[in-house]
Amino acid sequence: MAPMTTAVPPVTTAELMEAVAAVGSAYFLDFAAAAGRHGLSSSQAKALAAVLEPVPMRALAGRLGCDASNVTGIVDRLETLGLARREAAAADRRVKMVTITPEGAEVLRLVRADMTRTHHAFDSLGPEQRTILNDLCRQVLPLLVA
């Protein structure tokens, strides 16, 4: 009865922004809650995830999207907790490289494993859907961070 092709209502950029914002927001809340359960603020957990390989303080500020002066306090607290440490850079004695410790890597693993709603949501997708969503994210990302 229905025609082969029906009129598909076009998805506006505003609608797309709303949908992506809702998913991003829910993801972040789940992340923050999981971090809190392991004694970390979301900024601390995000910083931990950003120093899986050694990163200069200044570059870490860029990744976190905040001023360099903030990173001092964040890394101070991670260092106090034994989850990250500062190391001198070989080439330039001004820069300090921040690295995650084995304890930090373990806590980060636990936090990620503890994002129950996120796992529940993504585990519900089939192989094709996972591939499509992953590809779309990676396609759009370069323009979003340009």
Partner DNA sequence: TATTGTTATACTCTATAACTATA
Partner DNA sequence: TATAGTTATAGAGTATAACAATA
Chosen residue from 52, 88, 89, 137 binding its own copies by CB under 8 A: 137
Least distance CB 80 / DNA (angstroms): 9
The letter for the amino acid at 134 is N
The letter for the amino acid at 97 is M
Contacting range for DNA; rule: CB under 7 A; set: 6-14, 37-45, 103-111, 118-126:
37-45
Which of 98, 92, 113, 102 has its CA nearest to residue 37? 113
Nearer to its own copies, 88 or 113 (CB): 113
3-state SS of 43-73?
Answer: HHHHHHHHCCCCEEHHHHHHHHCCCHHHHHH
Enumerate binding residues for its own copies (CB under 8 A). Answer: 8, 10-11, 13-17, 19-32, 46, 65, 112, 115, 117-125, 127, 129-134, 136-138, 140-141, 143-146
